[in-house]
Amino acid sequence: MSIATLAEVLQPAFKNGYAVAGLVTLGWEDMCAFVAAAEAENVPIILQAGPSCREHTPLPILGKMFRYLGENSSMPVVAHLDHGYTFEECKIALDCGFTSIMFDGSRKPLQENIDETAKIADLAHSVGVSCEGEIGFVGYSGGETSDGTKPEEAARFATETNIDAMAISVGNIHLQQKKEGGLDEDRIKSIETVSDVPLVIHGGSGVPLNQRIKLARNSKICKFNIGTELRMAFGNALRLSVNQDTKRFDRIQILKDTHDPLVQATRKVLSTLKQ
C-alpha cells in the first residue's frame, strides 16, 4: 500500500460513518507500534509530527521515516505535519515528502487565518497534498484557554480556504490526561449545518470514550487526534521496563519492551473509531 493523503483516508470516513486516528508521534518506536496496530485492526492511520516531535527530529528525517513506514505497510498511512505555524515550515514539510499539512492560524484574526490557510492549501493542492486548517482555538490543559469555534466563522473558513479538513474548538483541550467533561454536541451540530468539510478534534485523548464512539459514527467528525493517552502508555511501559532490571543499560533492549504494550493501547483507540 502506498502512502496516502489526508483526503484519501478522510473522504471514505466522511461518507461511511467512521473516523481515522491522527496519532501524535515522538519517535521511531511509537511510529512502528502505531503502524503495527493499524495493520492488526485493518484501518488507515495518520502519523503526525507535531512541534515537540520536530524539536527532537528534523523534518527531512521525519518525512523519510513516515514514508518508509507507509510504503511498507499493508494499510494506508498519512504523513502529516501537525500544527505548522508558518508558510515556510509548511513548505519545508512538502519538500520533505509529507502528504498532509495542518496549518494552525487559530490564534490569528479571522481574515488573516483565512488568507494564510488558503495560501498554504493552494500550495499543498498544487503538489497533490492535503491541507487541514483550524478555526477557533483549542487550548491546553493547565495553559492557554480555548476560544470556541463560531459556526458562522467556520462556514466562511471552510468555503474560502478550500481545505480538506477543518479542526474545531468545541470543548476539546490539548494534553488532557483524564476524559473529563466532553464535547459540545450542540455546537458541533451547528457547525455541521453550515459546512460540508470533514471535521477534526484535537485533544482527542480527553474525549469520553462513549462520546468518541458516538461522534465517529454519527457526525462529520472524521479525525480524532490522539497523543496524551498513548504517550502515557509508552511512558508506563518504559518505566516498568527500566525498574524491572536496574542493571540493564542497553536502550534498544529497554525500548523494545514498550512495543507490545503500545500496540495494545493503540488498538483500543483505533477500535473505537472504525466502522
Say if residues 153 and 191 touch (Cβ distance below 8 Å).
no
Burial bucket for residue 194 (CB in 10 Å: 0-12, 13-18, 19+): middle
Q: Single out the catalytic residue among 30, 82, 104, 164.
A: 82
Which helix or strand (DSSP H or E) is residue 217 part of? Answer: helix 209-218
Say if residues 31 and 25 touch (Cβ distance below 8 Å).
yes
245 flagged as catalytic: no
What is the largest distance, in Å, between two alpha-carbon atoms of the chain?
Answer: 60
Q: What angle do CA 6, 12, 18 make, to 5 degrees?
A: 100
CA distance 184 to 148: 10
Say if residues 108 and 251 touch (Cβ distance below 8 Å).
no
Per-residue three-class SS string for 27-65: CHHHHHHHHHHHHHHCCCEEEEECHHHHHHCCHHHHHHH
**Residues taking part in catalysis:** 82
